[in-house]
Amino acid sequence: MCEVLERKDQKHKLDYDREEPKDITKSLMILSERSLHEFLASEPDIYTVDDLKVRYRYSFLFQIPT
Residue-level pLDDT at 60 = 59
Instruction: Please report the pLDDT score of residue 54 as a whole number.
Output: 62
Please give the pLDDT value at position 33: 85
Which DSSP state fits 43? Answer: S
pTM, 2 dp: 0.33
Span 13-65, pLDDT tens digits: 555 555 567 788 888 888 888 888 888 888 887 877 777 766 655 555 666 55
pLDDT at site 38:
84
In the chain, what are the domain boundaries? 7-62
3-state secondary structure at position 46 = coil
* pLDDT confidence of residue 3: 59
